[in-house]
A and B are shown apart, each in its own frame.
Chain A
């Protein structure tokens, strides 16, 4: 709701886009919070993947800290994929998408709305996953919590912005659930490698300046793909 006021100042169009986006995102999130099924399944899924990972390694041969960043990020990636799959699936029921498309809102705000809702959804799942990760793998993150959250946010914004764009397309393809990972996984590579490298640096107590290249790369990735996805999105829903 902070968005409502902040957008108003610089011309009505940006303000309108943000306000409409927030309205739709709030609708999505209220739906999710009321039914809770999706949140709960995603959280349980995250916990299960983390558990499975514990048995997918030889604890005597490989120190946990060496594997921890990969475990964290593969888990987050899988969980995000689940979240993205349902972003537009929701709108297919009762032709709700058609209703949104005839509403007097710009398509940019529809994209932003879905992006915000997905980010909140993935963020909540990550907020459940991170403590579990610390608990299960006994990784000390106390001193680096804030930079770690910043790294998680930076990487998540990047791949969720592409994922939101793709999820709008795959709902109208055959094998939608399979199509999204096939299309999206190559796009996850830059944020995933960067996030793993930066997480490893943080967990081992190395300074973030050592991974400055990754910070810049991820920031550039976020900016480029947010822009590209916002521009291209109308082509995925317009009739």
Chain B
């Protein structure tokens, strides 16, 4: 079985399980008392955010490994991870406002975590744009590794600064959902969804990795 096929199977299983997450979240998980049906988006939003963070972390780690070992596999993996991370951040950034509108009363607010995830998205975009703007493969790999590492170092700083920014100027009326110790049933749905999104991450990254392998093979054949 080729890598692409394996990636496809994992992705299909992941998507099927994602449907199961929807069914479980909508039909078999109790409605939250204060937020009502809107809270259901939580089971997609939070795991998507997790996958996006995981993607950025792994981009950074494989960037470090690339610069040490100079093995193109790490670069290919970082590229695939960034691509998939961009998609997951987009899911996170679209589901977030959909939930925030009924609960916070606004589509967007410069809340600390929201701002952080927006910049995560911008970092992914910058990373991918940079890759598109360099044609020579080893140069592209080195440049993206440098950028990936810088991005990883930057995230804690952005987190700290938006946090400091907000504590100096607190938003008075933003209803922050307290993080309650979730009832078992909701927690189970959430953890299930976390597993599914991690599986989707693996499936998508494997496919993206396989595609870039095919691109390289074709480029080598043409050369």
- Name A residues whose Cβ lies closer than 8 Å to a Cβ of B: 162, 165-166, 169, 172-175, 179, 182-183, 185-187, 189-190, 193-194, 197, 213-214, 217, 220-221, 224-225, 228-229, 232, 235-236
Contact = CB atoms under 8 A, between A and B. Distances in A.
Contacts of B126: 182-183, 186
30 contacts: A162-B150, A166-B147, A169-B143, A169-B146, A169-B147, A172-B139, A173-B133, A173-B143, A179-B130, A183-B126, A183-B129, A183-B147, A186-B119, A186-B126, A187-B150, A187-B154, A190-B158, A190-B160, A193-B164, A197-B164, A197-B165, A197-B168, A224-B153, A228-B149, A228-B150, A228-B153, A229-B150, A232-B146, A232-B149, A232-B150
B86 to A, nearest CB: 14
Q: Give the 7 A-B residue pairs with the shortest CB-CB distance, closest first.
A: A173-B133, A190-B161, A190-B157, A174-B133, A235-B142, A169-B143, A232-B146
B174 interface: no
Interface string B133-162: 110000100110111011101100110111
Contacts of B122: 185-186
Contacts of A172: 134, 139
A89 to B, nearest CB: 16
B123 interface: yes
Nearest to A233: B146
A214 B157 CA distance: 11
Given A186-B122, A187-B154, A235 B160 contact: no
B67 interface: yes
Given A165-B150, A197-B165, A236-B142, A179 B157 contact: no
Name which of A166, A194, A224, A235 has the most chain B CB atoms within 10 A of its CB. A235
Given A179-B129, A225-B153, A228-B150, 11 more contacts: A165-B146, A165-B150, A182-B125, A183-B130, A185-B122, A189-B162, A217-B164, A220-B157, A221-B157, A224-B153, A235-B67
A236 B129 CA distance: 17
Interface of B: 67, 119, 122-123, 125-126, 129-130, 133-134, 139, 142-143, 145-147, 149-151, 153-154, 157-158, 160-162, 164-165, 168
Contacts of A229: 150
A214 B164 contact: yes
B164 A173 contact: no
Contacts of B160: 190, 217
Contacts of B130: 169, 173, 179, 183
A213 B143 contact: no
Contacts of A190: 154, 157-158, 160-161
Nearest to B155: A186
Contacts of A228: 149-150, 153
A229 B150 CA distance: 8
Given A232-B146, A232-B150, A236-B142, A189 B134 contact: no
B164 A186 contact: no
Nearest to A176: B133
Contacts of B154: 186-187, 190
Nearest to B115: A189
Contacts of B165: 193, 197
A220 B151 CA distance: 16
Name which of B67, B130, B143, B161 has the most chain A CB atoms within 10 A of its CB. B161
